[in-house]
Amino acid sequence: FSAYLKQLGFIPNPHDTCVFNKDFRGKQCTLVLYVDDCFVDCEHAAALDYVEQKITERYGGCTRHDGDVLPFLGVMMDFTEKGVVTFSMPAFVDEIVRNAEVATIADTPAGNNLFYIEETSPKLSKEASDAFHSETAKLLYLAKRTRVDILLPVSFLCTRVREPTEDDLRKLKRVHRYLAGTADLPLRLSISDDYLFTAYVDASYAVHEDMKSHSGMVYTAGGGTFLAKSTKQSVVSKSSTEAEVIAASDGCNDLLSLMEFINFQTGRQGKAVLFQDNTSAIHLEKNGKSSSNKTKHMKIRYFWVKDKVASGELEIQHLPTDSMWADMLTKPLQGELFKKFRACVLNLP
């Protein structure tokens, strides 16, 4: 199919070769390909007819959906609000909640003891373990597409699928209870007029049982989160500053790659800004590897960020902790602070 699209004059985006573009009467026609599904967009409606015609000629037909509300890969995309795309998965969430047989609801998806592993908690049976693994996978699918607000506990649960315990199951059910009370929350995306790409990067130091830290990243190009990560770091850091530098190095790589993708799509040069709340980490990232005994052990690969700052590709700015969106992806926040960041990452009105 890719070869056929190229024959028709579509050019793949080098930063994601499943995204194709073609000029159609002076307007860009974009086609996103996923196996045998594709999403096509153009200001000229005739471009959609053209694509359908060519697919039918080559492959014998296709099923077409038009309108302001469209399903794609299990996600409902709503374009009715000007300048905003709203993503939701209502049927998928309803199925999860219904199968979980939720009796009560929770205000947040995780309790304060999320990272604590109860060693004496009984292990689940083989059947229950398989069910735990399946439910965790479903939640991950949801969290990576529309529900950034559950990504932190789901990320932790993914580390527990090999030998889950009754305590892990309680944490899983906490996510189910939260979803039951927030089933209709969507993700709203919009892009800024100045094409400003921002990454909110945070780290929680040594919160895992093996003393590894946890990174959280939120990426936005205006309103809402178009990519988020909540991951256990692969190395043990010796300080909170080191944990923040590791998170920034990983976050910078994603931010610049995503910006290059959008730049190719739009033909406009955007600006990348990385926000952190740790001033010591920012100092190291701007100045490079330190000779201090506290930081000279850190691997040089983490300081490639300095080169990006020096070249003007990236700007690093300090942000107070109470404004750091990624804080909700590194620690189980509660109450109004959680709701505040949830509204930010989902771009809720």
pLDDT band at residue 78 under the 50/70/90 scheme? very high
| Residue keyed to tokens 């988020």 | 228
The single-letter code of the amino acid at 98 is R
Q: What is the mean pLDDT of residues 129-151?
A: 97
- pLDDT for position 308: 86
Measure the CA angle with vertex 341, ends 274 and 235; round to 5°: 55
107-111, 181-185, 196-200, 305-309: segment of lowest average pLDDT: 305-309
Contact call for residues 276 and 250 (beta carbons, < 8 A): no
Which is it for the CA torsion 57, 59, 65, 67, positive or negative?
A: negative
In angstroms, rounded to a whole number, what is the distance separating the alpha carbons of residues 128 and 175? 17
Above 80 in pLDDT, residue 214? Answer: yes
- pLDDT for position 68: 94
Instruction: Return the axis-axis angle of helices 166-181 and 151-158, rounded to nearest 10°.
Output: 160
Q: What is the mean pLDDT of residues 85-109?
A: 96
- pLDDT for position 98: 96
Above 60 in pLDDT, residue 265? Answer: yes
Answer yes or no: pTM beyond 0.85: yes
Query: Using the 8-state DSSP alphabet, how is residue 34 labeled?
Result: E
Q: What is the mean pLDDT of residues 127-131?
A: 97
- List strand residue ranges (DSSP E) for the chain, in order: 11-13, 16-24, 27-34, 37-41, 69-72, 75-78, 85-88, 187-191, 196-204, 214-220, 222-223, 227-232, 271-276, 315-318
**CA-to-CA separations, 274 to 127, 203, 300, in angstroms, rounded:** 44, 14, 20
- % of the chain at pLDDT higher than 90: 76
Neighbour count for residue 147 (Cβ, 10 Å): 30
Residue 26 half-sphere exposure toward CB, CA atoms < 13 A: 0
Q: What is the separation, in whole angstroms, between the first and last Cα of the chain?
A: 40
Query: Using the 8-state DSSP alphabet, how is residue 123 labeled?
Result: B
pLDDT band at residue 191 under the 50/70/90 scheme? confident
pLDDT band at residue 290 under the 50/70/90 scheme? low
Above 70 in pLDDT, residue 109? Answer: yes
- % of the chain at pLDDT higher than 70: 95
